[in-house]
Chains A and B, each alone.
Chain A
Amino acid sequence: MTEGGGFLPIIAMLPFLGALLPGLMIRAGRNVCAVTTAMPTILALVMLAILAPSVFSGEVIEAEIAWLPALGLKASFFLDGLGLLFAGMILGVGLLITLYARFYLAGEDPMGVFYTYLLLFQGAMLGIVISDNILLLLIFWELTSLSSFLLIGYWKHLPEGRQGARMALAVTGGGGLAMIGGMLILGNIAGSYELTEILAETEAIQASDWYLPALILILLGTFTKSAQFPFHFWLPHAMAAPTPVSAYLHSATMVKAGVFLMARLWPVLAGTDAWFYIVATTGLVTMVIGALIALFKDDLKALLAFSTVSHLGLLTMLLGFGTPVAAGVAVFHIINHLTFKASLFMCAGIVDHEAHTRDIKRLGGLASLMPVTFAISTVAALSMAGIPLFNGFLSKELMLEEAAHTTWAGNPQIVGIVATIGALLSVAYSFRFVAHVFLGPVRDDYPHKPHDPPFGMYAAPALLAVLVVLIGVFPAATVEPLVNLTAGAVTGQEMHMHLKLWHGVTPALFMSVIAVVGGAILLGLHRPLDRLWIAMPRPEAKVIFDWIVRQAATVSGRIAEGTHNGAISRYLAIFTAATVVLGYLAWAGGGMAPATREMLPIPPVVGVGWVMLLGATLAVVVMHRNRFRALVLIGIIGLMISAGFVYMSAPDLALTQISVETVTIILLLLALHFMPKETPRESGPALRLRDAVIALGAGGGVAMLTYAFLRRDFSTISDFHLENSYSGGGGTNVVNVILVDFRGYDTFGEIIVLGIAGLTIYALMEALLAGPASRRLRNWDFSRDRSRDRHPLMMVVATRVMMPIAAVVGLYIFLRGHNQPGGGFVAGLVISIALLMQYMASGFAWTQGRQRIEYHSMIGSGVVIAGLTGVGAWFAGQPFLTSAFGYVHLPPIEEFELATAALFDLGVFLAVLGAVMLTLYSLSRIARYAGETVNIGPMDYDPSQPPEEMAREEAERREEEG
């Protein structure tokens, strides 16, 4: 990290952080909101100004933060002349736009939202121009597409705004995808994803076979972004955005991003024939076509949009020439275009704002009504036309000079001639902007009586117009150092361009004169030419684009409908069969080592358990239509698996399995209460045979796989856990120590997931009961399956007796967990089973009435306790979730251990208990909806209470009341 490099990440982050503010500050008023928005921009500008002297002295400022080094992704930034110019433009114009938008936006437009989008976009643009890592650059590149989508579609209520935003996103986002490919290829060739290192690999890159694919993919990205022919069509449609957006995105920033990247990669990509013919030709064509269309556009902003397309073509062409001087001219024109185009956009916005139309055919004669706007527009438009004393003249002259010296496919004149035609058209539409809007007679049919706007609105364009003149008259004193610095950064060599007004009598001067005179004549002929243009059949880009989108949607729809017919069972069958085939192919590939482990003997009791497991599984498969029976049979399977865990040295798993089994079956039983009790026979023999084949294939494959690795030795990391469990974790039950200590993070995540599952169920139920299902439940008919003895005396008494016993067992299991089988998971399940028994015996509502703690808060406190235990380690200077333990001796009791892990386990316990109980609670709510009565007493017949009749009467009375 070089000196001052620390500023760079901050500069990149400032707009993003600042984007959080406008939405809040709008409550304090529009002025405060605008000032708040300007703050991060101003701060970033100040930091840039601090760095600027070092950059001017030839230093490259770098900063680097490791991010995902394994992928070559680093948050690395660098600032050289090119970055400085663009960052300055982005921030400077951003500031002016902030000011302008404050006055432009109407009262009903949500200003906070606008400024948030604006800052997001500004941050993304800044990121592009100061990123060193190209992966980071790509991220920012995509961010500009996304944030510009939001900005262009800001007026959500306008269909043009939405369509324009969608089109811009489709085109620039699509180009961005291509560019990701190109950039990755480029990084692979250069062996680094750092721009500073890639730029030093020119020879390797240009000699590579992958140069051309990389070039084409990258250019697809830059051409779409910079609206080059034939991708230019999105830009005019993006003009549906509010004018500040157009002025910002389409004069200074977004569309320049493509030009920026071509300039950035100029040293490694430029100079080849492929570069020249693709880039220069595209630029030339775009320049002429853009200018031609601009001449015939009646919408002021559309005229400016196509003029922007034309100027972007000019810049692209200059970079395409591949000579250092041409690149320098491009840099100069970037500055000039920024000043006059941003100014013109804002003037167009003012006209629109004041006259309530931007249709040129409805305007004219505004010069006397809006003198200030007229003056600013004239200066900017003359600069755009390339008239001497304005900065546009200087760069256009230099451009024509370069074009005149360029030979295209052996023809030395063609580039110069076509460029002159482009310049001529440019003069014509620039003159038209002034002549048809401001000159001519004052009309009496403006939609709104126009007059000059308040100072705040024309301050920004006026400032830019002053810059236009200053640069135009004193180029050497104002921008020459910056141009040379930036051009040096683009070309990688010292640049000594001398910008001056008079170059002597050169071919460029003649071309300029031809352009100006021809342009003026063309404007004179505008009326008949316009009629001809309108009568002429022209390809409409939007129609073509929409057609392509429609076709793509139709084709994708057919594919989706063909493969996704809504039958989940079919997808599952395809998925399983494919997995089996892939597994078979992997096995058929060979490479299996010979078996190394001896088989263990099978004792008879295991054989019995195995037969029961298999028998129960087969029975479920065969008899699954009777759902109750299937549930009973599943209980056998769970029991056998628990027994298996006991036998195979996994007491903790056995405990967990058996308690989970109990809870699951209770849950399924409760759910089954509201579901059909039988599964109808629907699939025919062929389908069942197909499923059986798939199932046997999957089962056979998994069995073979299991058998294969069971017979082979392996290496494990568990030796570490076994060695350190007691000394490091303070427990002898290694499984529990792993859960609460070694892999405490996993467990922490797990209880959160479980808690989320509980809450999801609760939320599902909430949504369900608000929908049509509640009506169905209200009419539920219990008559068939209701027991007449709902809360039997025997069961109530038995569960009451068992409750404290079960609670003690749960506590015991919880406390011994660290050293003996048990722990928070199992204890939570045991306690929830004890509670479930009460619910079953006395009914949910009765029991719930005696419940003090809410289950939601139980889940929450469980997660919080576990988390706080982990945080506690920080205070001891240890990483999150490091456990500590000690031994305490209290006189009457034996020495015992106190461990923070027990506290963590308490969190696990509470989360498990809460999640299980919340699930049950949700199910019981269904029953309540279905009209299940709430019993007053704990049991149907209570000998200790007054006679039955009284209780029943009381119950009925309360039911009527409730």
Chain B
Amino acid sequence: MEIVVASAVGVLTAGGVYLMLRLRAFPVILGMAFLSYAVNIFLFSTGRIAIDAPPILNNYADVPYTDPLPQALVLTAIVISFGMTAVLVMIALGAFLEAAHDRIDMTGEPDEEDAAGTEREG
């Protein structure tokens, strides 16, 4: 089981990093989403893996509970990562609408798309 979780974190991280290093905004957003998954599972797993031990108190029997703290932290992290993704999406969308391309790097000579964008702005 530990190998499953660890490898899932690893694969999601690798995929996330690879997509993050692409040159267009959309794959970068996908990459950030992947990294959020990976980080959330990573944080969650600091409470170690426990099966059939949800942190819901049982008043009738003495049963084991998993560590609730990482869960609480990850719960808010999931919601916040949604907020972050939403802002990123909106920035990417804005950049695309302003510049007519969604390239993330700002190097070299302005090419056709850029030129078209600046021309229209001017």
Residues of B41-94 at the interface with A, using a CB-CB cut-off of 8 Å, are 41-42, 44-59, 65-69, 71-76, 78-87, 89-94
A687 to chain B, nearest CB (A): 8
Residues of A562-592 at the interface with B, using a CB-CB cut-off of 8 Å, are 565-570, 572-573, 576
Considering the chains assembled together, what is the distance between the CA atoms of A790 and B71 in angstroms? 41
Closest to A680 in B: B24
B76 touches A750 (CB 8 A): yes
A230 at the interface (CB under 8 A from B): no
A722 touches B76 (CB 8 A): no
Residues of A within 8 A of B74 (CB): 650, 653
Q: If A653-B74, A772-B120 touch, does A566 touch B107 (CB 8 Å cutoff)?
A: yes
A505 at the interface (CB under 8 A from B): no
Partner of A660, one of B69, B78, B93: B78
B9 to chain A, nearest CB (A): 5
B90 touches A722 (CB 8 A): no
A197 to chain B, nearest CB (A): 42
Q: If A645-B44, A675-B26 touch, does A706 touch B10 (CB 8 Å cutoff)?
A: yes
B79 touches A754 (CB 8 A): yes
A227 at the interface (CB under 8 A from B): no
A57 at the interface (CB under 8 A from B): no
A655 to chain B, nearest CB (A): 9
B115 at the interface (CB under 8 A from A): no
Residues of A within 8 A of B85 (CB): 664, 667-668
A716 touches B49 (CB 8 A): no
Considering the chains assembled together, what is the distance between the CA atoms of A760 and B90 in angstroms? 9
A614 touches B87 (CB 8 A): no
B6 touches A704 (CB 8 A): yes
B90 touches A650 (CB 8 A): no
Residues of B within 8 A of A417 (CB): none
Residues of B within 8 A of A787 (CB): none
Considering the chains assembled together, what is the distance between the CA atoms of A772 and B119 in angstroms? 11
Q: If A732-B56, A754-B83 touch, does A714 touch B38 (CB 8 Å cutoff)?
A: no
Considering the chains assembled together, what is the distance between the CA atoms of A767 and B98 in angstroms? 11
Residues of A669-728 at the interface with B, using a CB-CB cut-off of 8 Å, are 671-672, 674-676, 679-680, 682-683, 691-692, 694-696, 698-700, 702-704, 706-707, 709-711, 714, 716-718, 721-722, 725-726
Closest to A717 in B: B69
B58 to chain A, nearest CB (A): 8
B99 to chain A, nearest CB (A): 9
A703 touches B6 (CB 8 A): yes
A617 touches B15 (CB 8 A): yes
Closest to A764 in B: B90
Q: If A572-B20, A674-B97 touch, does A735 touch B42 (CB 8 Å cutoff)?
A: no
A958 to chain B, nearest CB (A): 28
B76 touches A739 (CB 8 A): yes
Considering the chains assembled together, what is the distance between the CA atoms of A706 and B8 in angstroms? 10
Considering the chains assembled together, what is the distance between the CA atoms of A672 and B29 in angstroms? 12
Partner of A777, one of B51, B97, B120: B97
A959 at the interface (CB under 8 A from B): no
Q: If A641-B41, A656-B75, A758-B83 touch, does A599 touch B3 (CB 8 Å cutoff)?
A: yes
Q: If A667-B89, A699-B15 touch, does A714 touch B82 (CB 8 Å cutoff)?
A: no
A772 touches B121 (CB 8 A): yes
Partner of A743, one of B8, B41, B72: B72
Among B3, B25, B80, B102, which residue has the most Cβ atoms of chain A within 10 A?
Answer: B3
Considering the chains assembled together, what is the distance between the CA atoms of A829 and B54 in angstroms? 22
Q: If A617-B12, A695-B18 touch, does A710 touch B79 (CB 8 Å cutoff)?
A: no
Partner of A683, one of B22, B29, B50, B54: B22
Closest to A625 in B: B27
A656 touches B96 (CB 8 A): no
Partner of A614, one of B8, B38, B97: B8
Residues of B within 8 A of A648 (CB): 5, 44, 49-51, 66
B39 to chain A, nearest CB (A): 9
Q: If A706-B5, A732-B57, A733-B56 touch, does A650 touch B44 (CB 8 Å cutoff)?
A: yes
Number of A-B contacts (CB under 8 A): 319
B27 touches A637 (CB 8 A): no
Residues of B within 8 A of A771 (CB): 98
B104 touches A569 (CB 8 A): yes
Considering the chains assembled together, what is the distance between the CA atoms of A641 and B17 in angstroms? 19
Partner of B6, one of A691, A695, A706: A706
Task: Name the segment of A423-431, A600-608, A883-891 touching the other chain.
Answer: A600-608
B22 touches A679 (CB 8 A): yes
Q: If A743-B72, A773-B94 touch, does A716 touch B67 (CB 8 Å cutoff)?
A: yes
B80 touches A753 (CB 8 A): yes
A734 at the interface (CB under 8 A from B): yes
Residues of B within 8 A of A732 (CB): 56-59
Residues of A489-545 at the interface with B, using a CB-CB cut-off of 8 Å, are none
A912 at the interface (CB under 8 A from B): yes
Residues of A within 8 A of B66 (CB): 648-650
Residues of B within 8 A of A630 (CB): 27, 30
A356 at the interface (CB under 8 A from B): no
B122 to chain A, nearest CB (A): 9
Considering the chains assembled together, what is the distance between the CA atoms of A702 and B105 in angstroms? 27
B8 touches A768 (CB 8 A): no
A560 at the interface (CB under 8 A from B): no
A602 to chain B, nearest CB (A): 5
Partner of A735, one of B17, B68, B100, B120: B68
Residues of B within 8 A of A600 (CB): 1-2, 49, 51
The 9 tightest CB contacts between A and B, nearest first, are A703-B10, A699-B14, A757-B83, A773-B97, A600-B1, A707-B6, A566-B106, A695-B18, A732-B57
Measured CB to CB, the residues of B under 8 A from A are 1-27, 29-30, 33-34, 37-38, 40-42, 44-59, 65-69, 71-76, 78-87, 89-94, 96-98, 100, 102, 104-107, 120-121
* 14 additional contacts (CB under 8 A) given A764-B94, A765-B90: A565-B107, A567-B105, A569-B22, A618-B15, A620-B34, A621-B18, A649-B52, A656-B78, A668-B89, A675-B102, A695-B13, A726-B59, A735-B68, A757-B83
17 CB contacts below 8 A, A to B, read A566-B106, A567-B106, A569-B21, A620-B15, A624-B19, A637-B37, A656-B79, A660-B81, A676-B102, A679-B27, A682-B24, A703-B7, A706-B9, A732-B58, A735-B68, A753-B83, A821-B56
Measured CB to CB, the residues of A under 8 A from B are 565-570, 572-573, 576, 597, 599-602, 606-607, 610, 613-614, 617-618, 620-621, 624, 627, 630, 634, 637-638, 641, 644-645, 647-653, 656-657, 660, 663-664, 667-668, 671-672, 674-676, 679-680, 682-683, 691-692, 694-696, 698-700, 702-704, 706-707, 709-711, 714, 716-718, 721-722, 725-726, 732-735, 738-739, 743, 746-747, 750, 753-754, 757-758, 760-761, 764-765, 767-768, 771-773, 775-777, 819-821, 825, 829, 912, 915-916, 919, 922-923, 926
